[in-house]
Amino acid sequence: PTGLEPEDAHKVVAHSIKHIGTDYDVRHLLDLARFFFPWGFLPRRWRSSLFEHNAGMPTRTVCSSMLASAFNRVNFPILPFIDRDDDGSLRFFKRNPRLFTPKDFDYSPYFDIIKYPFLGLDDLGVYRRLPWCDDDILYNDDERAFVAATRGETVSRVDERTVFSFTRKNKEKADPIDDNTPSVPNTTVKGG
């Protein structure tokens, strides 16, 4: 949290510590999924119950809702609804903490999210020694690879899933900079 006062930070931590060991609310996750699903496709009995009062349910929580309620207690914004009046003044409204998901903390301009790379990239230019695969192979999130068009060529699609196996270089072929630089000799791409 950017700019959170120390006194409020202690309150947020105290609220969070109080909820350590609380049962995980799996039903809440299902309700969130149903809440974000289009209403027209679901029968009324299957719709989200996020806004209904559930007696005995405060003993269960999910991490993002617990953190959102902790920050709401000290009036620290995560992703507030902001209303501008006709006179130009602004009013912030707190969002329901049960509607928060982990990505909301990432999207919030009021939080600095620290992301660690898989490999240490502290040295300048170390990214050039990463074991990149062939320049013409691009990887999609749906676990398919395709060969990219280069130099005016047409795009060809890879029919078979690309298999990457990382092995260490042999000592006699090793880069003089680093003996343990992984290489990608066993990349298999079929189809196209």
Distance of alpha carbon 21 from alpha carbon 80, whole angstroms: 28
List, in order, residues 6 or more apart from 97 with CB less than 8 Å away. Answer: 65, 66, 68, 69, 72
pLDDT on residue 19: 79
C-beta separation of 185 from 169 below 8 A? no
Print pLDDT tens along the chain (192 aa).
899 999 999 999 999 888 787 766 666 666 666 666 665 665 555 544 544 545 454 555 667 888 898 999 999 999 888 888 899 889 888 888 877 888 888 899 999 888 776 666 565 666 677 777 766 666 666 555 555 544 444 445 544 444 444 444 444 444 444 444 444 444 444 444
- Which sign does the torsion angle of CA 40, 45, 49, 51 carry? positive
- Phi, psi values for residue 25, rounded to 5°: -90, 90
Q: Report pLDDT digits (tens) over 71-92.
A: 999 999 998 888 888 998 898 8
Q: In the prediction, which pLDDT does 159 show?
A: 47
C-beta neighbour count of 57 within 10 angstroms: 14
Contact 146, 114 (CB under 8 A): no
Residue 169 is predicted with a pLDDT of: 46
Model pLDDT, residue 81: 87
pLDDT at 173: 47
Rounded distance between C-alpha atoms, residue 174 and residue 183, angstroms? 10
List, in sequence order, every residue forming a beta bridge with 61; answer none if it has no partner. Answer: 24
Q: Are 161 and 110 in contact (CB under 8 A)?
A: no
